[in-house]
Structure 1
């Protein structure tokens, strides 16, 4: 599905519309992930660094990590971030020595105008269960209660597309949505499990640090 990569925003939108029906909102039978990979991309103008960090979910120890430098020539268009980031992220995933059970993306899943954000795109292309965990919402929500684990529905056009999830007491919520091969209850439970101390899951925190550090060292 990566061979005919769109060259224009119109082609990218058309591909999202074709692929969105492939999203499966159900986890695999007996789904009990032991490892989770955080994926993030840092930019310096047209240069980028794509990082994947795999954690043992029970201990939160890092078991594998890869960072891939690259460039992007796809324009910055809201809703089309996957087309700037996906090729480099797939390259990083291919270089891992382990195969993660779950992907945690710093971006949207089905909480997206065409129900096909970065987490959904990655999930469908790789076949792995994936979750979108975003810092800003694509949709409408009421603030959840103040306690860790409180949540409210995130809606768009009358559809429930995710949840505003409080990962730490009285800290701004994150916006969790299904990527692929997972349900919303399971997605939120995994995000909370991966975020015992901070707002962001440890997967995202470590991937963010790795890709930013790589850009600085590559200057």
Structure 2
């Protein structure tokens, strides 16, 4: 799997912001080609270490094909808007060990719904040169009115930032649960991203590849 070495990861917050502003010049939003495999990525931290998992599934069958888990020492603090510098290295470590090269990657985080349009999914999409989607439980930027969101699965609202730019969609992934926040990461358009996420949400609020990645990251041993 091709992994681009575009910048160092052990940097100051100020340098991280500068890097994001440079990387956004590489942003591509486009139609994705055929998808046969999809990856879900999640990470968490405990006692100074970051634990990450990447789980590969067939699509649309959702058969689990591969799991890779890694852990590394924390090298960047938790700062909203700079999550990729905290979690990016553990995911890159996982991707280096994968046997299957996924067609699409979904991250538990933001895509272009970000102050500098460079959330975790967008940043890692550029580094990995892969189509990516950001799927978050909470927004980082933007305005929306949940009163206008339908109750049934598949209902969504377009989500705009302070510049009135559409950065994603607030999606009801399952009836009777809180919505999730979907944004394009890299090399995918919003309409396609929404259709894929809806198809991946089976019996839970969170799409299955992310749900399993979360379980596996927490189960790290």
Q: Identify the TM-score tier after normalising by the shorter chain.
A: over 0.9
Pairing 1:38-49 to 2, within 5 Å after superposition = 38-49=40-51
**Partner Cα separation in structure 1 for residue 49 and residue 9 of structure 2:** 19
Please report the TM-score for the alignment, with normalisation by the length of structure 2: 0.93
CA RMSD of aligned residues (A): 1.1
Q: 1:177 — aligned with what? A: 183
CA distance in 2, matches of 1:14, 1:34: 36
Which runs of 5 or more residues in structure 2 are unaligned? none
Q: 1:142–1:153: 8 Å Cα contact kept in structure 2?
A: no
User: How much has 1:6 moved relative to structure 2?
Assistant: 4.7
Q: How many residues align?
A: 213
TM-score by length of 1: 0.94
Report the Cα distance in structure 2 between the residues aligned to 1:19 and 1:189, rounded to whole angstroms.
Answer: 27
Residues of 1 paired with 2:84 and 2:119: CA distance?
7
Deviations 1:77-130 (A, max 9, x none): 110010011011011011111010000000000000100000001111111000
* Aligned equivalent of 2:143: 140
Deviations 1:21-41 (A, max 9, x none): 21111024xx12111000010
Mapping of residues 30-179 of structure 1, within 5 Å? 31-138=33-140, 139-143=142-146, 144-157=149-162, 158-179=164-185
Q: Which runs of 4+ in 1 moved over 2 A?
A: 1-6
Question: 1:9 corresponds to which residue?
Answer: 13
Mapped to 2, the partners of 1:17 and 1:192 lie a distance apart of 31
Residue 204 of structure 1 aligns with which residue?
210
Whole-Å separation in 2 of the counterparts to 1:135 and 1:32: 27
Instruction: Point out where structure 1 has 5 or more consecutive residues left out of the alignment.
Output: none
